Amino acid sequence: MENAVHEPQQILVLGGRSDIGVAIARRLMSPNTRYVGLACRRPEDATTAVESLARPDVIVEALEFDATRVDEHRGFLDRVVSEHGDLDLVVLAFGQLGDQERFDEDPRSAATVVDVNYTSAVAVGLEVARRFRVQGHGTLVVLSSVAGERVRASNFVYGSSKAALDAFAQGLGDSLEGTGSRVLVVRPGFVHSSMTAGLKPAPFATTPDVVAEAVVTGLRNGRRIVWAPGILRWIFTVLRHVPHPIWRRLPLG
């Protein structure tokens, strides 16, 4: 359980190879932390991430987890809890970016990305909420994206999946009111990471560490939504209302 200053003992990152997810876990680790689980499809590929989080007296491990196997979510979470105790903080960090041109040619690949980014996230998010209700406490951090704030033609499948995830996470947070649990929605802009390697950075590009710092600040201040970097909140306040003919022509990637 978190202590008086909200330092989690048990942290679970769903999407344990995510640069942002690992950065958040690292930033939230404290002398109070006892366990960090990095859940991903290929645990053998998470060795570097595990080593980067290694601390005395802290169990850090990579766990096999396939988000698309929704019938296994409950058993997976129950096993982690039975072995390490209640989950204080869960980071939902898995997702796929994909390529819009490929989606246009192969709609099945688009369906796969939507399944990962939204359908699987809904399923595991509800399971995490069920666990939190049993515990009477817990925080779920959901990595959304500014790409879902106003979807662009260049990545509208990805953007639409993030828009749906963002709406779900907000609703899930509302449903947990009064349970001792909460949801923090994180809306990063372009983040320099393994997912975006080779892509042209968008304006106000940031890093996983900056996103992690925004998460920590948001948690401490009791926020429901955080932007990273923060200036994007104000930029999208304007962009939401730009007339559509102009929006289509903006050089936003």
What residues act catalytically? 158
State both tokens at 176: 């947990």
248 three-class SS: coil
Angle at 126 between CA 138 and CA 29, to 5 degrees: 30
CB of 145 closer than 8 Å to CB of 92: no
Half-sphere exposure of 86 (CA within 13 A, CB side): 17
Q: How many CB atoms lie within 10 A of CB 197?
A: 8
**∠ CA 185-141-67, rounded to 5°:** 110
3-state class of 187 per DSSP?
strand
For 154-178, give the secondary structure using H, E and C: HHHHHHHHHHHHHHHHHHHHHHCCC
Can you read off the two tokens belonging to residue 85?
A: 């105790």
Paired strand residues for 203? none
What one-character DSSP code corresponds to residue 241?
A: T
Contact 163, 151 (CB under 8 A): yes
Count of residues in the chain? 253
Q: What gap in Å lies between CA 125 and CA 108, rounded to an integer?
A: 24
